[in-house]
Amino acid sequence: MLKAVLTGVATVGLFALAPVFYANQTLLFSAMMYLVLAQGINVLYGFTGYLPFGYVGFFGAGAYAGALSVLRLGLSPVLALVVGGVVAVLVGVVLVPLLRLSGAYFAIANLAAAQALYYVVSNPDLQALTNGPYGINLAVAYNATASYAAMVALLGLALATVVYLRHSRLGLALRAIREDRISAELAGINVVRERTIAWLLSALLAGLCGAAFAWYISVFYPETVFSLNVSIFAIVFALFGGAATLAGPIVGTLVLYGLYSAIGISQPEYFQLIFGLVIVGLVLFLPDGLASLSERAGFEVP
């Protein structure tokens, strides 16, 4: 517990202070964004076993809900973050029936749901509301420092959520459900209720994250915030480090997003190759991520 809290505080502190030493704030912001999304994936996958390939749907819903509540309703950006989170949770509520599916069926249905949201938002007929395919310009609310600070706070929230799950009875119940649904029910666990809580918590993190992204980036298009790449990056980062731990997704994101920043733009073909090899290697040799290596060596991962 202490180790986990220290890990969390150190990570948040690092990103809070980093802009003082390092000029590329956008890179730091993106790293934090993926860190939050990877932990959001972790909340769902690590604790319930559902792998949400359409996770970006919550992110996009949050980005649009946040941006539109500033543009159309004149809300303050901070309040808009909350709206982004709430709307993502509402999308999650609508999608609760997906939890009846399992494995690949859930992943595909979730992906389809995210695509459906993308097509609704980018529909030219809805231009009056969403500006359709022409995207969003949030320049009126632009504030790099405040939105960066918001993402730091959000990172703290995401890490605190995972620490809570690892040390609470809810987390124990979720892990029980992940292990064996029937045995969990026979332990008296309300499986439907507990996994819905995890699903909505995960949606909330992605929604808040999307709204913070919209605020920081200021100009974006439907393709930007509903890109399947966002889901895949977050999933691979979380799994590479090790799901169901706090440190796993942190390490996974820092290493792989670091790699992406170093060569992903300048030499995308090499990055794609390495990224693909990492995914294959992960599935074949290390399904529980780097954390399992460390645990095999006798060092408990927080």
Footprint of another protein (CB under 8 A): 169, 172-173, 175-176, 178-180, 182-192
**Min CB(109)–another protein separation in Å:** 23
Give the residue carrying structure tokens 């590479």: 240
**Min CB(293)–another protein separation in Å:** 17
**Min CB(284)–another protein separation in Å:** 21
Beta bridge partners of 136: 220
Nearer to another protein, 136 or 189 (CB): 189
Nearer to another protein, 142 or 185 (CB): 185
**Min CB(179)–another protein separation in Å:** 4
Six-digit token string for 256: 């792989």
Burial category of 282 from C-beta neighbours within 10 Å (exposed 0-12, middle 13-18, buried 19 and up): middle
Nearer to another protein, 259 or 295 (CB): 295
Taking the alpha carbons of 174, 175, 176, 181 in that order, is the dihedral positive or negative? positive
**Min CB(53)–another protein separation in Å:** 23
Nearer to another protein, 182 or 265 (CB): 182
**Min CB(185)–another protein separation in Å:** 4
**Min CB(171)–another protein separation in Å:** 10
User: Could you give the C-alpha distances from 57 to 22, 42, 200, in angstroms and in order?
Assistant: 31, 16, 13
Nearer to another protein, 140 or 192 (CB): 192
Give the residue carrying structure tokens 């704030």: 25
Nearer to another protein, 89 or 176 (CB): 176
Nearer to another protein, 49 or 207 (CB): 49
